[in-house]
């Protein structure tokens, strides 16, 4: 019986793959801008496909463009153990968010092939389309369709800032597969991801054993006032949508603090119209991102926002529209999968601690349809969704080692 305890990935090879992928869709400050369904996303997909085919994997693609690179198991009836994350990035994204999870899965395959190890269950490395939700909201769109949370037609109709539709862009880059989304069943799913927060680095821990994911709520707010001259319009006559937004953003901060220490709130997307230096904004559209591990807190924050925004806009004579554009409840991952990760970290001698994921991940949706859990590695200063996002080669290798053990143990090694 292969002694699993001394199995390790090839950390240098994993690091080289990360640096190679980072060359595609470079940012302007050392990170990446490989947004979903852009030509750069297509190029990154082709590189991943080339690497998978070189390892003898067969590639399946579903009608949301999600890629499943399959290594056969010895039992043709056994459902696959899936391992992966996402290759799409934020516009000012880092080199590791999502990418570490996909290439960590590929590194498991490369190591199994090097060692000639067979498993009972097939193993599939997955690249989920549009995890970030930055070009086409909401986040985790393809894994949401896979888990039956979103209808594919609705997803195909999602539009980016230029009015381009998801379905059209997927076809344009040539990655609309023919597999029905969700038809591919699985035994379990594991995702390796950088923490995107400060806890592991601060506590000097190698591994985060992710037991839960906090819930998320995205609310799009549209405020309408009246465009008018910033110079000649007397103050009492102004209907300043921009000022209304500023007061609501201050309220959002207050609401999040009212549920300290775990709740968070901010607006990352803001569009001002007409966005001209000497025109009072007549319209603003912005998205409030609330998160908490407690669903009752999220619901209370949404209620406080609706109430407070209405009071502010009524007082200022502004129009207000509020639309929920994304969200999911807090997630509890599968106990057996979490235990496989924790015991792997212990067996390998890596320091570890249980963690609640602050960010959303594809695993949060896949958890609805199969036993799922996540491994996290630290990131420098807890920084992510920033081109300066950084990890160490050692952190990447440790995370991939733990992922490797959890996946191979679940897929069951066969002599
Ligand atoms: O929004 C999130 O938490 C993820 O990074 N898409
Ligand atoms: Mn991510
Ligand atoms: Mn991200």
* pLDDT tens string 326-340: 999 999 999 999 999
18-71 pLDDT tens trace: 999 999 999 999 999 999 999 999 999 999 999 999 999 999 999 999 999 999
In which band, very low, low, confident or very high, does the pLDDT at 3 lie, cut at 50, 70 and 90? Answer: low
Q: Which of 101, 130, 133 to mutate to test the pocket of ligand 1 (most atoms within 8 A of CB)?
A: 133
Q: How far is CA 335 from each of CA 85, 367, 404, rounded to the nearest angstrom?
A: 20, 11, 18
266 has which bridge partners?
289
Structure tokens at 156: 């195909």
The pLDDT of residue 4 is above 90: no
pLDDT of residue 263: 97
130-176 pLDDT tens trace: 999 999 999 999 999 999 999 999 999 999 999 999 999 999 999 99
**Predicted TM-score of the model (pTM):** 0.95
Q: Match 């409030």 to its residue by tokens.
A: 288
Q: Which of 331, 361, 379 to mutate to test the pocket of ligand 1 (most atoms within 8 A of CB)?
A: 361
CA-proximal residue: ligand 1, atom 1 (nearest): 360
The pLDDT of residue 398 is above 80: yes
Closest alpha carbon to 99 in 396, 350, 392, 406: 396
214-244 pLDDT tens trace: 999 999 999 999 999 999 999 999 999 999 9
pLDDT of residue 415: 73
Percent of the chain whose pLDDT exceeds 90: 98
How far is 8 from 151, CA to CA, in rounded Å? 40
Ligand 1 centre from 216 Cα, in Å? 9
Task: Report the nearest atom of ligand 1 relative to the CA of 133.
Answer: 6
- Local structure of 339: helix, strand or coil: helix
- In a 10 Å sphere around its CB, with 0-12 CB exposed, 13-18 middle and 19+ buried, how is residue 391 labelled? buried
């Amino acid at each position: 019986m292969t002694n699993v305890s001394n199995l390790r990935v090839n950390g240098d090879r994993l690091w080289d793959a990360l640096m190679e992928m980072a060359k595609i869709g470079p940012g302007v400050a050392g990170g990446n801008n490989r947004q979903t369904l852009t030509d750069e996303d297509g190029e990154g997909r082709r590189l991943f496909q080339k690497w998978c085919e070189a390892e003898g994997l067969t590639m399946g693609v579903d009608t949301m463009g999600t890629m499943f690179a399959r290594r056969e198991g010895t039992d043709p009836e056994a459902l696959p153990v899936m391992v992966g994350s996402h290759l799409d990035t934020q516009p000012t994204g880092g080199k590791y968010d999502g990418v570490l999870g996909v290439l960590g899965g590929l590194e498991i395959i490369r190591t199994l092939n090097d060692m000639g190890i067979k498993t009972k269950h097939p193993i599939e490395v997955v690249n989920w389309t549009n995890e970030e939700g930055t070009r086409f909201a909401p986040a985790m769109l393809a894994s949401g369709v896979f888990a039956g949370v979103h209808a594919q037609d609705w997803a195909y109709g999602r539009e980016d800032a230029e009015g381009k539709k998801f379905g059209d862009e997927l076809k344009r880059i040539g990655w609309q597969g023919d597999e029905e989304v969700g038809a591919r069943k699985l035994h379990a799913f594991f995702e390796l991801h950088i923490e995107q927060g400060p806890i592991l680095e601060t506590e000097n821990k190698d591994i985060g054993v992710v037991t839960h994911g906090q819930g998320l709520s995205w609310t799009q707010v549209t405020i309408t006032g009246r465009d008018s001259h910033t110079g000649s319009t007397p103050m009492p006559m102004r209907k300043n949508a921009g000022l209304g937004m500023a007061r609501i953003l201050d309220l959002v901060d207050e609401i999040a603090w009212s549920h300290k220490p775990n709740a968070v709130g901010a607006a990352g997307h803001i569009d001002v119209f007409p966005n001209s230096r000497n025109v009072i904004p007549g319209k603003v559209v912005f998205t409030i991102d609330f998160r908490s591990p407690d669903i009752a807190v999220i619901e209370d924050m949404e209620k406080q926002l609706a109430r407070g925004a209405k009071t502010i806009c009524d007082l200022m004579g502004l129009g207000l529209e509020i639309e929920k554009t994304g969200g999911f409840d807090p997630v509890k991952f599968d106990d057996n999968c979490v235990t496989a990760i924790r015991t792997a970290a212990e067996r390998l001698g890596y320091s570890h601690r249980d963690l609640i994921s602050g960010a959303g991940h594809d695993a949060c949706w896949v958890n609805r349809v199969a036993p799922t859990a996540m491994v996290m590695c630290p990131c420098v200063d807890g920084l992510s969704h920033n081109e300066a996002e950084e990890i160490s080669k050692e952190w990447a290798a440790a995370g991939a080692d733990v992922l490797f053990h959890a996946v191979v143990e679940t897929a069951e090694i066969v002599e």
